[in-house]
Structure 1
Amino acid sequence: MAAACARTLCKVGWALLDSPAGLRPGTVYRLVGNVSAQGSRRAYGTGGTGVRSKLLSGLRGGGGRVVGCAFLLGGGLGLYHTVKLQVQQHLAEEDTKVPGGGLKLTLYQYKTCPFCSKVRAFLDYHRLPYEIVEVNPVMRKEIKWSTYRKVPILMVDSEVQLNDSSVIISALKTYLINKEKSMSEILRCYPELKSVNESGKEVTEYSNKYWLMLSEDETLETYPEKDLQKEEMKWRKWADDWLVHLISPNVYRTTGEALASFDYIVREGKFGAFEGFFAKYFGAAAMFLISKRLKSRHNLQDDVRQDLYEAVNDWVAAIGKKRKFMGGDQPNLADLAVFGVLRVMEGLQAFDDMMENTKVKNWYRRVERASLNHEGPN
């Protein structure tokens, strides 16, 4: 409406400037009448014929050029303000759009859990807003409603429950790329598989958890170079099957490190006063002993630091010198997974030793900045 009026005023102005002495009153009536027809006459004054008489007398008196400039200036200002308003409205609409298609995400986690850290790294990088529910590691009452008794758990719109960090990440990434499928439809592509492990304990695994469920065209757009998808999947699996198992033996390597680790866990976790005291001292002692068993189970060296150093140097070597990240100029899912696992050691001696004695530091800081600055694609 405002834009139409402004354009009409500009037409009047140009007509007056082109024919300052010969513009007929009927022409003015017709042009100005267009404005009136598209909006309320009250918006432009209630002077009626008196206003028209003054306008026409000005034209007959040789003031057509001045009046034309006035019309042109008024129309130009009107168009300017109309465009400005439309731009502001568009920006406001963009600001109110929720990334991830408006999903409401709630993450049930332990802050110091490497699998939970992986999920947070993905959510932060991709600008997906989420709420955190810190779970008490002893009672776990925050997830008593779920038959799945581990973390992370991600609830989507308070209806769809995603379990397992790699399933969560793959499903969300699929959803961000393929907007045609609902989260429930995507989740059906990652069926549960129950089995019994060597200890006779029932365990749950998930099929396809390192795959993105995309069309052929979407896959080519996401992975434009040959073997990028296989490489990403290989290192995501490596992070789950090998790297994560190096964390506990390294952070509980000595009694002093075990105590420092549990001091951090108690500070960052959700513990009561008694639980915190018990966890700090008894938990540290227990995990120091357990870490020795883990060392034997995973065939680690006597100095477990060496396994950690070799692992992160293998990772850096796989990226190579020509890439900032394994994903190229931007982190991919493997970058975020490895970063998420390593991040849980920050503030502990194992992390400081790793940064000082390996080549991982520059890559780690780049991914850290990308995650904290939410640099991922919308």
Structure 2
Amino acid sequence: MAAACVRSLCKVGQSFLEAPSVCRSRTVSRLLGNVSGHGSRSAYGTSGPGFRSKLISSVRAGGGRALGCAFLLGGGLGLYQASKLSVEQHLAEEDRDVSGQGLKLTMYQYKTCPFCSKVRAFLDYHGLPYEIVEVNPVMRQEIKWSSYRKVPILMVGEELQLNDSSVIISALRTFMISKGKNMPDIIRCYPELKYVNEKGKEVTEYSNKYWLMLSEGENNVIYPEKGMQKEEMKWRQWADDWLVHLISPNVYRTTGEALASFDYIVREGKFGTVEAFFAKYVGAAAMYVISKRLKSRHNLQDDVRQDLYKAVNDWVAAIGKNRKFMGGDQPNLADLAVFGVLRVMEGLQAFDDMMKNTKVKYWYTRMERATLNHEGGSQSPSSL
């Protein structure tokens, strides 16, 4: 709009320079007539009967060229400013696609939590900057302000709190793609549901957490082939409902593995000196026992490694031989979820055994590289 107005101003200036003097005087006369017809002349310093006649006389005397130059100069400067503003706005839109509109993101986490690792994988792959607040898993003072006592918690700015790893990922991805929605509107699409389970414990769940809230056109761009969206949602849920539950029984499979796992947890987590000692030895013993209960609860085999191997090979088989990732040439949300869950075992015996005894190595290496290099940060919705 501004650029169009400035171009019109330049044309006026050009016409002043090219027209005969008598035409210039008539043009000025018409312009001043328009001013007096549309507003108060005193507002423009044009009040008084002598102003109009003096200006017309100056135009006839050759001053019209100076006036035309003024129009051109003003129009040119205005066009420059309008063009500069247009470019800045365009760059801002480009930045919105890539960086999530400059959202300030702060994530409260345990580094070794698979659900937290899922969110980090998403943020890292898309190159979204974020701050980490490591939560002490014993006292949890860092999240005492929140009625939601689990991690991850993602704060958007100072006030908007996002809970549940899958909700966080779906909401952020929706925001990155859909230019017409703001984050508060998006998060309302994932309502919180509370209920009491069979054990009498209150449970919090979230509706629609594997859905992206997109228009039909946006959905067709992100999922151009039939079945892509359902496949992504299926395996995201599989990562939450099955794969995650294989981690603890495998990393705490024996007393030696339990101690090694807690040595890693203590080293990477936020513990005081006394807490670290008790966490390592008491925690390792407790998790060894709990892992046996988890094995029973989820009907795992006596050798829980076999369940891990089967799950990972099922995932690789679902990707197939003709795709680099489940998302095709680039990882989709299912790729990022599975990668995030599996990488919490890095440095432990369970991870080494998995890499040695399954077919996941090449996919995992590609995911590691894509995440490390923030390869998703170069994609915008228009290029997907």
Q: TM-score, normalised by structure 2?
A: 0.75
Task: Give 2:243's aligned residue.
Answer: 243
Task: Give 2:283's aligned residue.
Answer: 283
Task: Give 1:220's aligned residue.
Answer: 220
Q: Report 1:1-378 matches (<5 A).
A: 97=95, 99-376=99-376, 377-378=379-380
Give the distance between the partners of 1:237 and 1:287, measured in 2 at CA.
Answer: 25
Task: Give 2:5's aligned residue.
Answer: none
Q: In the TM superposition, what whole-angstrom CA distance separates every residue of 1:340-363 from its partner, at most 9, and x where no partner exists?
A: 000000000000000000000000
Give the distance between the partners of 1:217 and 1:262, measured in 2 at CA.
Answer: 48
Displacement after TM superposition at 1:145 (Å): 0.4
Give the distance between the partners of 1:115 and 1:321, measured in 2 at CA.
Answer: 28
Task: Give 1:21's aligned residue.
Answer: none
Give the distance between the partners of 2:307 and 2:241, measured in 1 at CA.
Answer: 14
Give the distance between the partners of 1:254 and 1:138, measured in 2 at CA.
Answer: 23
Q: In the TM superposition, what whole-angstrom CA distance separates every residue of 1:129-178 from its partner, at most 9, and x where no partner exists?
A: 00000000000000000000000000001111000000000000000000
Aligned pair in 2 of structure 1 residues 38, 195: CA closer, same or farther (>3 Å)? same
Give the distance between the partners of 1:306 and 1:143, measured in 2 at CA.
Answer: 37
Aligned pair in 2 of structure 1 residues 37, 169: CA closer, same or farther (>3 Å)? closer
Q: In the TM superposition, what whole-angstrom CA distance separates every residue of 1:19-66 from its partner, at most 9, and x where no partner exists?
A: xxxxxxxxxxxxxxx999988xxxxxxxxxxxxxxxxxxxxxxxxxxx
Give the distance between the partners of 1:38 and 1:267, measured in 2 at CA.
Answer: 69
Give the distance between the partners of 1:314 and 1:367, measured in 2 at CA.
Answer: 17
Task: Look up the SS of the partner of 1:249 in the other structure.
Answer: helix
Give the distance between the partners of 1:184 and 1:364, measured in 2 at CA.
Answer: 34
Q: In the TM superposition, what whole-angstrom CA distance separates every residue of 1:286-330 from its partner, at most 9, and x where no partner exists?
A: 000000000000000000000000000000000000000000000
Give the distance between the partners of 1:284 and 1:195, measured in 2 at CA.
Answer: 32
Give the distance between the partners of 1:152 and 1:194, measured in 2 at CA.
Answer: 18
Q: In the TM superposition, what whole-angstrom CA distance separates every residue of 1:181-216 from its partner, at most 9, and x where no partner exists?
A: 110000000001111112110000000000000011
Aligned pair in 2 of structure 1 residues 35, 260: CA closer, same or farther (>3 Å)? farther
Give the distance between the partners of 2:364 and 2:198, measured in 1 at CA.
Answer: 36
Task: Give 2:50's aligned residue.
Answer: none
Give the distance between the partners of 1:100 and 1:157, measured in 2 at CA.
Answer: 12
Amino acid paired to 2:282: F
Task: Give 2:59's aligned residue.
Answer: none
Q: In the TM superposition, what whole-angstrom CA distance separates every residue of 1:87-133 from its partner, at most 9, and x where no partner exists?
A: xx98xx67x95710110000000000000000000001111100000
Amino acid paired to 1:372: L
Task: Look up the SS of the partner of 1:102 in the other structure.
Answer: coil
Amino acid paired to 1:115: F
Unaligned runs of 5+ in 2: 1-67, 74-79
Amino acid paired to 1:131: E
Amino acid paired to 2:358: T
Give the distance between the partners of 1:357 and 1:97, measured in 2 at CA.
Answer: 43
Task: Look up the SS of the partner of 1:199 in the other structure.
Answer: coil
Give the distance between the partners of 1:179 and 1:342, measured in 2 at CA.
Answer: 33
Give the distance between the partners of 2:95 and 2:105, measured in 1 at CA.
Answer: 15
Unaligned runs of 5+ in 1: 1-33, 40-81
Task: Look up the SS of the partner of 1:132 in the other structure.
Answer: strand
Give the distance between the partners of 2:361 and 2:223, measured in 1 at CA.
Answer: 26
The two structures, once aligned, show a CA RMSD in angstroms of 2.6
Q: How many residues align?
A: 305
Amino acid paired to 1:214: L
Task: Look up the SS of the partner of 1:344 in the other structure.
Answer: helix
> After TM superposition, which residue ranges in structure 1, 4 or more long, deviate above 6 angstroms?
34-39
Give the distance between the partners of 1:107 and 1:369, measured in 2 at CA.
Answer: 23
Give the distance between the partners of 1:174 and 1:97, measured in 2 at CA.
Answer: 16
Give the distance between the partners of 1:221 and 1:170, measured in 2 at CA.
Answer: 16
Give the distance between the partners of 1:191 and 1:36, measured in 2 at CA.
Answer: 60
Give the distance between the partners of 2:160 and 2:329, measured in 1 at CA.
Answer: 33
